[in-house]
Amino acid sequence: MTVPLVKKQNVTILGSTGSIGVNTLDVIARHGDRYALHALTANSDWETLAEQCATFSPKFAVLKQHEGVPALEERLLQAGCKTQVLSGKDSLCAVAAHEEVDVVMAAIVGGAGLEPTLSAVKAGKRLLLANKESLVMSGSLFMQSVEQAGVILLPIDSEHNAIYQCLANGAPDHAKGVRKILLTGSGGPFLRKPIESLAKVTPNEACAHPNWKMGRKISVDSASMMNKGLELIEASWLFSVNPRDIEVVIHPQSIVHSMVEYVDGSLVAQLGNPDMRTPIAHGLAWPDRIESGVPGLDFTDLVDMHFEAVDLNRYPCLALCQQVAGQAQSYAIALNAANEIAVQYFLDELIPFTDIPIIIESVLEQTSCEEAHTIENILALDEEAKHRALQKIRAR
Ligand code: NAD
Ligand code: MG
C-alpha cells in the first residue's frame, strides 16, 4: 500500500529572529515532514537571520533595513545557502502574501507589524497572530479583512490561545453561553515592589520577567501591565466580546493561561507550563495536535497556585487600556503609539518607568474621537500620536 503524500505547509515567519520567531523555528524543526520555510524576516539582525537561513533554507530572507543586505548575502554565499535576500517593507508584505505561502506567523513587534500582517490577511493565509499591536491599532478593519478573505486566525498570545481552546477550540457558535472571560496575568516583576520605588527601576529590572523570556518591549509592557491592557483590547476584537465582560485576574505562577466562565457556572481553563511553544504548536497544527517540545505539568510541583484582584494604582497603564477599550479606534491607536515611544525612551534610560502612563494619558487627552477604516487613516493617526508623545517627552 502506498502512503499518500501530504503537501507540506509553506510558512513565512515575520520577525523570525525574535523570541516568538525563534520558538516557532524550534517547533517547526521538530516537524520537517509537515512544514517548509518560505521566508524568514528581521529588522536589522542579519547575523541571526544568516544562521537561521543556513539551518532552514527558506526561499527568501527579508531584512527591513537595507544596510545589512550585502553582509547577509556574503555570509549566505560562503555557507552555500541559496536563499534569496530581499529588503524593505514592501518585501515583508510580499513574502507574507506570496501565492506559495500557506501559513504566516505574525511576530514582528509593535506597529511595524501592521502592514505585513494585514498583507497576509488580505491574501487569505492561515494567520498565527502574535503581533497584538496590529490588532489593537486596526480593530474593525483587521477583523473585517479576516472575514472577507476567509482567514483562519489562530491567536498565539498565550492567553488568547487559551481562551480559544476554552471556547470549544474554534467550533462555530463558540461564544454561546459565555458569561465572562477571565484574562490572567502574572503581574510581572514589580507585583510586590513598593509603589514609591517604581520611579527608580531600571530597564533590566523591568525586563526580568519571573515566568516568561520575551523581547524587551513586551517585557516592559508586562511590568506595567500595559501588555494585559493591550490583550484586553485584543481579546474583545478576537472573540467579539464586550470589554466589560473581560476581567483581568492576577495569577503570579502563569500556569492557568486564561479562563472562560459560562452562564451555567462552568469555568473552563487552559493550563500548561509557561512556554510559548505550546500556543505556537497549537496554531501551526490546529485542529490537529503536534509535539511542541514542552513537557507536561508536574502537579506535585504546583504547591502554590493563587489568584488575586488587580490594584490599578500599581498598574495605571492597565486602567488607561480599560478606558480606551470599546471606544473609537483613534484612542487605541494613540495609546499604542504613545506607549511604543515611551517604552523605547524608558529602555534607552531617558525617562523613568513611571513616566510611561503619564505620557500616554497626556497624548490621549489630545486625541479626538475618530474611527479609522483605512490603513492610511490608521498610519496617519499613529504618526500623529507618536509625534505628540515625543513633544511631551521633550517638554518634561
Ligand atoms: P522581539 O523583540 O524578541 O522580536 C521582534 C522581531 O520583530 C524580531 O525578529 C525583529 O527583527 C523584528 N522587528 C523589530 N522591529 C521591526 C521593524 N520595525 N520592522 C520589521 N521587523 C521588525 O519580540 P517578541 O517578544 O518575539 O514579540 C513579538 C510580538 O509577539 C510582539 O507583538 C509581542 O507583543 C507578541 N508576543 C510575544 C510573546 C513572547 O513570549 N515573546 C508572547 C505573546 C505575544
Ligand atoms: Mg500574553
Q: Which of 138, 187, 217, 396 is nearest to 312 (CA)?
A: 187
Find the helix or strand (DSSP H, E) in which 203 lies.
helix 203-207
Whether residue 172 is predicted with pLDDT greater than 80 in this model: the reply is no
For 356-379, the pLDDT digits (tens) are 999 999 999 999 999 999 999 999
Which 3 state secondary structure label does DSSP give 181?
A: strand
Question: What pLDDT is recorded for position 168?
Answer: 80
Mean pLDDT along residues 366-393: 97
For 255-264, the pLDDT digits (tens) are 999 999 999 9
**Among the four given CATH numbers 3.40.50.720, 3.30.2020.10, 3.30.360.10, 3.40.50.300, the one describing domain 9-151:** 3.40.50.720
Alpha-carbon gap, residue 316 to 272, rounded angstroms: 29
Gyration radius of the chain over CA positions:
21
Q: What percent of the chain has pLDDT over 90?
A: 92
For 85-143, the pLDDT digits (tens) are 999 999 999 999 999 999 999 999 999 999 999 999 999 999 999 999 999 999 999 99
The Cβ of residue 170 has, within 10 Å, a number of other Cβ atoms equal to 13
Alpha-carbon gap, residue 170 to 163, rounded angstroms: 10
CATH of domain 162-274+299-395: 1.10.1740.10
Instruction: List C-alpha distances in Å: 287 to 169, 267, 283, 337, 351.
Output: 8, 22, 8, 35, 45
- Spacing of C-alpha 130 from chain mean position: 3
Question: What pLDDT is recorded for position 170?
Answer: 74
Residue 225, sorted as left (phi over 0), alpha (psi -120 to 50) or beta, turns out to be left
Q: Which of 184, 212, 153, 164 is nearest to 20 (CA)?
A: 212
149 alpha carbon to ligand 1 midpoint, in Å? 25
Question: What pLDDT is recorded for position 209?
Answer: 86
Whether residue 174 is predicted with pLDDT greater than 80 in this model: the reply is no
Alpha-carbon gap, residue 188 to 186, rounded angstroms: 5
Could you tell which of 12, 14, 17, 19 is best to mutate to test the pocket of ligand 1, judged by most ligand atoms within 8 Å of the CB? Answer: 19
Give residues with Cβ within 8 angstroms of 214, minimum separation 6: 19, 222
210 alpha carbon to ligand 1 midpoint, in Å? 19
Q: Which of 167, 210, 207, 169 is nearest to 186 (CA)?
A: 210
Alpha-carbon gap, residue 334 to 365, rounded angstroms: 10
Whether residue 288 is predicted with pLDDT greater than 70 in this model: the reply is yes
Instruction: List C-alpha distances in Å: 275 to 147, 213, 215.
Output: 30, 9, 14
Q: Is the CB of 252 under 6 A from ligand 1?
A: no
pLDDT band with cut points at 50, 70 and 90 for residue 2: low
pLDDT band with cut points at 50, 70 and 90 for residue 352: very high
Q: Which of 177, 265, 186 is nearest to 228 (CA)?
A: 186
Q: Which three cell numbers stand for residue 190?
A: 514589580
Tell me, what DSSP letter sits at residue 308?
B
> Residue type for 187, please?
G
Q: Which of 187, 215, 185 is nearest to 203 (CA)?
A: 215
For 246-279, the pLDDT digits (tens) are 999 999 999 999 999 999 999 999 999 999 999 9
Tell me, what DSSP letter sits at residue 297?
P
The Cβ of residue 78 has, within 10 Å, a number of other Cβ atoms equal to 10
* Domains of the chain, residue spans: 9-151, 162-274+299-395
Question: What pLDDT is recorded for position 47?
Answer: 98
Alpha-carbon gap, residue 68 to 77, rounded angstroms: 14
Question: What pLDDT is recorded for position 4?
Answer: 52
For 192-236, the pLDDT digits (tens) are 999 999 999 999 999 998 888 899 999 999 999 999 999 999 999
Q: Which atom of ligand 1 is nearest to the CA of 216?
A: 2
Q: Is the CB of 274 under 6 A from ligand 1?
A: no
189 alpha carbon to ligand 2 midpoint, in Å? 15
Question: What pLDDT is recorded for position 335?
Answer: 98
For 296-329, the pLDDT digits (tens) are 998 887 768 899 999 999 999 999 999 999 999 9
Q: Is the pTM of this model over 0.85?
A: yes
Question: What pLDDT is recorded for position 70?
Answer: 98
396 alpha carbon to ligand 2 midpoint, in Å? 32
Please report the sign of the dihedral spanned by the C-alpha atoms of residue 248, residue 251, residue 257, residue 262: negative
